[in-house]
Amino acid sequence: MVGYIIRRLFSAFLVILLTSMFVFGLFFLGPSNIAATFCQQSANGRCTQERLAVITKQFGLDQSVFSQYEEWAKGIFVGRKIQMGATYDCPAPCLGISYRDQTNVFDTLKKYYPATLSIALVAGFGYLFLGVLLGSLAARWRGTAADKSLVTVSLLISSLPYYLVLLLAWIYLYAIKGWFPVPGYTSPFDNPWNWVKGMCLAWLILGVTNSTQYARFSRGYMVEALGEDYVRSATAKGVSRNMAVFKHALRVAIVPVVTIFGLDFATLLSGTVFTEKILGINGIGVLAINSITNFDFPIIAATVLIAAVLIVVGNLVVDILYSFLDPRVRLA
Amino acid sequence: MTEVLDVERSPARQPNSQKEPFLVVEHLSVQFPTYDGLVKAVTDLSYSVDMGETLGIVGESGSGKSVSSMAVLGLHDIKRSRLEGSIRVAGKEIVGASQSTMRKIRGNEVAMIFQDPLTALHPFFKIGDQIIEAYRFHHNVSKRVARRRAIEMLDLVGIPRPDQRVDEYVHQFSGGMRQRAMIAMALVNNPRLLIADEPTTALDVTVQAQILDLIQEMQKEFGSAVIMITHDLGVIAEVADEVLVMYAGRCVEKGTTKQILTHPEMPYTWGLLGSIADVVGDVDKPLVPIPGTPPSLLNPPSGCSFHPRCVHRDKVEGNRCVEELPELRAGGAPNHLLRCHLTDPDAVFESEVKEEIL
């Protein structure tokens, strides 16, 4: 088990390393001249050759991609000093400083991440729970009107683009009807009630929308499990129908659903980007979108890196969880 | 070991204390409506089993053996099946009984051993926990007591180191061990009727013999009634007192094991006996299979459902085999019933068939 985790951690590290290199490469190989853009903006369109050269040097763009990457990657572990007009001290873990306002990227991420994690974790576990519950109930009463309408509604919601559902829900529930308070983030440690108030619309929309596909997955796996011999054996022992469904069948059906949940972690993160943007919650998604339009490379690189870390860790957790869920899987 | 086992014994458990046999099945029909039509899985089946007796039910795949026995436990989904007739367990009517009535009978008075223990046992629960669950469902005891009982049962069915095996999962057991665990689970509540649905089909012959011995020992110990469902006549010869031969959902022949194996009077039974390989026989002698395939239960053949495959059809006058369903009638020996139009099946058997199959 320990050996397995060490091996997995090693490969997880490789994935993160490659992702960061890839992002670096893409950014520099892309048809964009960061220095020129910044130069135009800062000098009101009158960008001289001298000014461009200064900015290029300041951003370190005159060096090769490899040495820039080396400098950047080294900073994560040991910290570095950054010359950008003035000298900025960037202690480990240093993800650089913003091109735009020279703030420390790591501090910026620390500021924005709680909102994103609040949305993602609560909505994520919410839709997993809701989906499995609805799916199991539908499988339990398979063929009834309730089951059929659940499947229909679920298909309908899943086939609409998420941002459309989100936008309509926001317009109707918040803007027109005013049933929900203003979306926004307050730290739950400062004021838990305001935290719930600001987040509830995001949880509701992201949670309900994504729960529909989990309801269909769960229903499918439950229907399959309910047809298995061991459920019949349980019934033959005298176990009640509900026990057979929610203990014997669900115990098996939950495994693939949790696996999908782990692999689908990226969807959850991209879902939060839309959610933040449309509901106007200042989270990492909004930060990333803004930095892409601003060519603020250090922030883009950092958000992608952290997203990669989250996805890799999510998958790792699911794989380890798997051996606890399914006793036939023995990790060695 | 015996102290706990004896707790549940009561005078009512002794054979012959009731007038009616423990299990009575009368005119049972089981049908499944499907998109293609009505599947008549079992039609007009009647039999009875008393305490201490073993009834063997034989027939090809799809002849209705398992379906009829699952009806005894009420395992068919009421919404997806139609049951008619009467099934009485210890005098209680099963057909149409409520789920709560059924739950008290299932696993307690009537238990079932399923065919494939790998799929019939839960893959994610420990063997012991599954036995404990079966026991605690019908006995109001603590987990500790139930666990002790589970270990005893595993010991009883011959599983070595039962105190360790109790915490293992089904995938850690060998095929024979799995079936033993299945039997332990079925017997944990001392059921008065044990239905064994092809309990040895997936096992090799030596393990098969052990499992059959085990079931017989258990039957002696608890005095229970046993229904042995199989397509293996060797198993029948070893354990059954009475045999019921099923074909296309109907009983086609019924009698004592000795009678059926030595004086079968129905062409389908002849075919079954003829297709058994004889280990000590002549290796060059070809096996005689029954021609054709089992009939569709959606559109069963007219008249006698065996007529399309029957080689003795020309011995019946007119076209009766095709047109008229033969009734169950008395055969050559007492309690021998058969469903055939042949006027003197025994004569045909003696002159034509006997040599081939015995």
Tens digit of pLDDT for each residue in A152-194? Answer: 999 999 899 888 999 999 899 888 988 888 888 888 888 889 9
Q: Which residue in chain A is spatially nearest to B135 when comparing CA positions?
A: A237
A-chain residues near B116 (CB < 8 A): 229
Q: Which of A230, A232, A238 sits opposite B108 (nearest CB)?
A: A238
Q: In sequence order, what E strands does A107-156 have?
A: none
What is the Cα–Cα distance from A31 to A295, expressed in whole angstroms? 12
* B127 lies within 8 A of chain A by CB: no
CATH of the domain at B118: 3.40.50.300
Chain centre distance of CA A106:
18
Q: What residues have CB less than 8 Å from B50, skipping those under 6 apart? A: B15, B16, B21, B22, B23, B225
Q: Is the pLDDT of residue B10 over 80?
A: no
- The answer to which of A51-65, B88-102, B173-187 has the lowest mean pLDDT is A51-65
B-chain residues near A143 (CB < 8 A): 79
CB B175 within 8 A of CB B134: no
Residues B75 and B126 in one domain: yes
For A83, phi then psi, to 5°, come to -90, 115
Residue B326, in any domain of the structure:
yes
Residues B31 and B112 in one domain: yes
Q: What residues have CB less than 8 Å from A309, skipping those under 6 apart? A: A16
Residues B233 and B283 in one domain: no
Question: Among the three residues B192, B211, B240, which one is the final residue of a domain in this structure?
Answer: B240
* B167 lies within 8 A of chain A by CB: no
What is the Cα–Cα distance from B177 to B173, expressed in whole angstroms? 6
Q: Which residue in chain B is spatially nearest to A324 when comparing CA positions?
A: B124
- Per-residue pLDDT band for B8 (boundaries 50, 70, 90) equals very low
Q: Which residue in chain B is spatially nearest to A242 when comparing CA positions?
A: B99
Q: What is the pLDDT of residues B39-67, one digit of tens each?
A: 999 999 999 999 999 999 998 888 889 89
B-chain residues near A258 (CB < 8 A): none
Say how many CB pairs under 8 Å bridge A and B.
71
- Per-residue pLDDT band for B11 (boundaries 50, 70, 90) equals very low
Residue B249, in any domain of the structure:
no
B-chain residues near A230 (CB < 8 A): 119-123
3-class DSSP assignment, residue B278: coil
- Per-residue pLDDT band for B4 (boundaries 50, 70, 90) equals very low
Q: What residues have CB less than 8 Å from A191, skipping those under 6 apart? A: none
Q: What pLDDT shows up at residue A218? A: 95
Q: What pLDDT shows up at residue B355? A: 75
Q: How many domains does chain B have?
A: 2
Q: How many residues does chain B have?
A: 358
For chain A, residues with pLDDT lower than 70 are 30-32, 43-45, 330-332
Tell me the angle at which helices A192-226 and A250-263 cross, rounded to the nearest 10 degrees.
Answer: 120
Residues B113 and B14 in one domain: yes
* A83 lies within 8 A of chain B by CB: no
B-chain residues near A233 (CB < 8 A): 112, 114, 120-122, 185
Taking all residues of chain B, what is their mean pLDDT, rounded to a whole number? 87
Residues spanned by the domain of B312:
258-357
What is the Cα–Cα distance from A273 to A116, expressed in whole angstroms? 8
- Report strand pairing: B193-197 vs B92-93: unpaired
- Per-residue pLDDT band for B358 (boundaries 50, 70, 90) equals low
Q: What pLDDT shows up at residue A45? A: 66
What is the Cα–Cα distance from A228 to B118, expressed in whole angstroms? 11
Q: What pLDDT shows up at residue A31? A: 65
B-chain residues near A142 (CB < 8 A): none
* B121 lies within 8 A of chain A by CB: yes
b/e for A95-104, b at 16 or more Cβ within 10 A?
A: bbbbbbeeeb
A177: how many CB neighbours lie within 10 A of its CB? Answer: 9
**B residues 80-119 near A, CB within 8 Å?**
99, 103-108, 111-112, 114, 116, 119
* A329 lies within 8 A of chain B by CB: no
CB A99 within 8 A of CB A56: no
What is the Cα–Cα distance from B332 to B345, expressed in whole angstroms? 9
**Average pLDDT estimate for B192-204:** 86
* A236 lies within 8 A of chain B by CB: yes
CB B4 within 8 A of CB B152: yes
Question: Among the three residues B189, B209, B240, which one is the final residue of a domain in this structure?
Answer: B240
- B134/A237 touch (CB, cutoff 8 Å), yes or no: yes
Residue B247, in any domain of the structure:
no
Chain centre distance of CA B131:
22
Q: What pLDDT shows up at residue B144? A: 94
Chain centre distance of CA B315:
32
Q: What pLDDT shows up at residue B13? A: 45
CB B237 within 8 A of CB B261: yes
A-chain residues near B104 (CB < 8 A): 238
* B73 lies within 8 A of chain A by CB: yes
Q: What residues have CB less than 8 Å from A256, skipping those under 6 apart? A: A217, A221
CB B345 within 8 A of CB B338: yes
Tell me the angle at which helices A229-237 and B127-138 cross, rounded to the nearest 10 degrees.
Answer: 30
Residue B251, in any domain of the structure:
no
Residues B307 and B220 in one domain: no
Q: What pLDDT shows up at residue A43? A: 67
Q: What residues have CB less than 8 Å from A24, skipping those under 6 apart? A: A65, A68, A69, A72, A301
Q: What residues have CB less than 8 Å from B283, skipping those under 6 apart? A: none
Residues B234 and B286 in one domain: no
Q: What residues have CB less than 8 Å from B316, skipping those under 6 apart? A: B341, B342, B343
Q: Is the pLDDT of residue B135 over 80?
A: yes
Tokens 């180191």: give the residue: B161
Q: Is the pLDDT of residue B341 over 70?
A: yes
- The domain ranges of chain A are 109-325
* B258 lies within 8 A of chain A by CB: no
* A242 lies within 8 A of chain B by CB: no
First and final CA of chain B: distance in angstroms?
A: 45
Q: What pLDDT shows up at residue A99? A: 83
Taking all residues of chain A, what is their mean pLDDT, rounded to a whole number? 87
- B119/A238 touch (CB, cutoff 8 Å), yes or no: no
Q: What pLDDT shows up at residue A215? A: 94
* A235 lies within 8 A of chain B by CB: yes
Q: Which of B108, B119, B125 sits opposite A229 (nearest CB)?
A: B119
Give me the amino acid identity at B280: V
Q: How far is A145 from chain B (nearest CA, A)?
A: 14
Q: Is the peptide bond before A93 cis (omega within 30 degrees of 0)?
A: yes
Answer yes or no: CATH 1.10.3720.10 is held by domain A109-325.
Answer: yes
Question: Among the three residues B240, B269, B284, which one is the final residue of a domain in this structure?
Answer: B240
Residues B175 and B227 in one domain: yes
* A323 lies within 8 A of chain B by CB: no
